[in-house]
Amino acid sequence: MKTIRRIVAIIAAALAAALLATWAAEPPQYKVREEVTVTGKVTGVSTVPDWMGRDGLNIALQGADVSAPHVDVATASFMRLLEFPIAVGDDLDLTGCWSTTTEGQAVFLVHTLKKQRVTLNVRDAGGAPLW
């Protein structure tokens, strides 16, 4: 009986530690002062839960000066609401900044997208998401 209690206690402690680590994890930080513009062709589009648990729209971008396998645009529902589809093969100009995910991977956080003659802001002047 004591062995079962110890096992349950160990499992409970491990789950509590994992939960606390998740709560303590900082989302990628947007830094307006570090904004850059990158240009390239969309090579992948996916929808995955973002750091807030929403339907994050992620793209991969390949260009002459950039290879960005992880680009966070906005939520997919926000982009659908604005009727601004993004597809593989689209040429985009993106203004945003580089940051780091909670797993330590590089991510490009988008502020402004330009596709053909249409420009769309997905963050406000201070870098806060509009969605």
11: helix, coil or strand? helix
Q: pLDDT by residue (tens digit) across 4-20? A: 665 545 555 555 444 44
pLDDT, residue 37, reads: 96
Q: What is the token pair recorded at 68?
A: 């960005």
Q: Phi and psi of 19, rounded to 5°?
A: -65, -45
Q: pLDDT by residue (tens digit) across 57-77? A: 999 999 988 898 999 999 999
Domain 32-121 - what CATH class?
A: mainly beta
Q: pLDDT by residue (tens digit) across 24-38? A: 467 889 999 999 999
